[in-house]
A and B are shown apart, each in its own frame.
Chain A
Amino acid sequence: MKMISDTRLMFKRSIKHALRDPIWVFLNLFQPILYLLLFMPLLEGLGGVPGLPEGKTVQVFIPGLLVMLAMFGSAFVGFGLVDEIRTGVIDRFLVTPVHRTAILLGRVLKDVVILLCQCVIVTLIAVPFGLVLDIGGFAVSLLLYAFIAVSMSSMSYGFALIYKSEDTLSSTLNTIALPVSLLSGIMLPLVLAPLWLQTLAGINPFSYAVNASRALFAGNIASPDVLTGFIVIILLAALLFWWAVRSLKKMAA
């Protein structure tokens, strides 16, 4: 099928680019590792408050941190696309018979692969800090992060295709990413939040992802939180990807 072979071509090309400048792959790791080293120790003192069982703060913090990595690691991929619009690469692709969806799908899959590598690295670093790894739960959680990456990178590409400029893209993404991450209970469990904040978090799809991620790290694969998290994030990913493809199709028109 043309779409699959075109997606493979686009994916290979994007991966090649990423490997040529591996510095970015590691720069993205810098932030979560700093959180791990400089923020997590603060939490240990809080052990015992609701949502943060004593001596197990790392078990609660890491799954949130991984969701944050998935969100922020993928949120700014649109900058590369703006560059390719400017250099005419995207127009050149669009004049060929290439399958339109493949142009974005190849890139999104690249973002997913890079993200999963980063998640594995951060998780392994956390093990010496007392993280107890449930292999089954962790494997399923990687799938969850993959869909978060699809959502966020699709959103980033969608805005890149609409704005075609780094400046507007950067302020839009920051404006969205910051409240969305604050309202997802990434840093601290939302049980600690006042009711109005919890209600607000209830309309944030990523708060469901964080809940699912924590349940998976606790080894509760069968938890209803996991199912809800997956449903919400898969729907979001599908919606945002569809929107990005639509933006590509009507980019010039």
Chain B
Amino acid sequence: MPETCIIETNGLKKTYSTKSKGRKKLVEAVKGVDLSVKKGEIYGFLGPNGAGKSTTQKMLSTLIPPTGGAATVNGFDLLREQKKIRMCIGFVSQAGGTDPLSTGFENLIMQARLYGADKDTAKKRAEDFIRRFQMESFADRRASSYSGGQRRRCDIALGMIHHPAILLLDEPTTGLDPQSRAYLWEEIRNLQKDGVSVFLSTHYLDEADKLCDTVAIIDNGEIVAQGAPADLKAGIGADTISLDFATADIAVKSMELLQNAEEVENANAKGNTVHLHVKNMEQVLPSLLRLLDTNRFEAQSIALMKPSLDDVFLKHTGRSLREDNYNENDQ
């Protein structure tokens, strides 16, 4: 049986017209995106700022109308059944959405009531979510006094108050300290356990890699690669093991020995260092080291490199996402 998709888009497009220097210019923010989010998975949108992540998410959450293409969300047509879509999605924008002048509790009650819950139900749901997201210690304070992590928790609780089938998160951990990030990842995994499909965008490589079941890499309004992080990285090729030896002579001899091992795809020596390309370095490393040991070659240090999602991004766009993020921080 094929896995069911909860979000499916077909050539989804958004073109803005902006005026620059008196001339009208068309900006293609999203240039025909085809993506499919499977039911119950954590789907990650990885790309630099301005790649079209937010615009796509805003279209899927009915905030802005697409200029072309089609999409279904939870089986409903994006262009014709917006009201039904609103009932079954939660959306947490980059800005968050928690009202700073109200308390967390008031925010939650208001949100539940906007979804049609009566007073008692809204109060009960707000209390449930305060317990679930561990907001007890600050839910009665005004949100303007919250830390970044506390506010994020409240943002996400607001997005979940009506028990949506899909939660869209726009860069949920940007600007959070490592602890809050770890907490949020855990919370997102818990949502998945409860059967919620999560569609998040991020420009953090590790977040896409560790948290997401499927990753779509987006750049300049187009998806350039899509798949499980492990598969995407496997598509790049082999892992690299680098071994340093005391002299170049030993390095060459070790290289000659190692390149005959069946696990090694290719080997080369540069100076004192030997580079080995292998599949599954975790599994082959012990036997390679044993081989060196029995022949009395002693490696002085070892460096291991797996292809990262950044390598995937580099392969498809010719740029590094890391550099992009640095440049953005410089500005």
Chain A positions near chain B (C-beta within 8 angstroms): 2, 6, 9, 13, 16-17, 20-21, 84, 86-89, 91-98, 252-253
Contacts and interface: CB of A to CB of B under 8 A. Distances in A.
Given A17-B102, A92-B158, A98-B114, A252 B95 contact: no
B45 to A, nearest CB: 18
B111 A17 contact: no
A17 B101 contact: yes
A13 B110 contact: yes
* Majority DSSP secondary structure for residues of A touching B: helix
A96 B111 contact: yes
Interface residues of B, number: 33
Contacts of B111: 92, 96
Contacts of B90: 95
A2 to B, nearest CB: 8
Interface stretch (B58-66, B131-139, B213-221, B278-286): B58-66
Interface string B34-72: 000000000000000000000000100111110000000
Contact of B86 (A13, A20, A97): A97
A95 B86 contact: yes
A252 B64 contact: yes
A12 B220 CA distance: 43
Given A13-B102, A88-B94, A88-B95, 4 more contacts: A9-B113, A92-B97, A93-B114, A97-B86
Nearest to A88: B95
B238 interface: no
Interface string B62-106: 111100000000000000000100110111011111111110001
A95 B158 CA distance: 11
11 contacts: A13-B99, A13-B110, A16-B106, A87-B96, A89-B97, A89-B98, A92-B93, A96-B114, A96-B162, A97-B86, A97-B115
A95 B63 contact: yes
B235 interface: no
B99 A84 contact: yes
A96 B94 CA distance: 17
Contacts of A253: 64-65
A86 B99 CA distance: 11
A87 B114 contact: no
A20 B100 CA distance: 12
B116 interface: yes
B303 to A, nearest CB: 43
A2 B98 CA distance: 23
Contacts of B162: 96
B65 A9 contact: no
A225 B33 CA distance: 60
B321 to A, nearest CB: 25
A87 B95 contact: yes
Contacts of B116: 2, 97
Contacts of B97: 87-89, 91-92
B66 to A, nearest CB: 10
A87 B98 contact: yes
Contacts of A86: 95
Nearest to A252: B64
B93 A88 contact: yes
Nearest to A6: B114
A87 B99 contact: yes
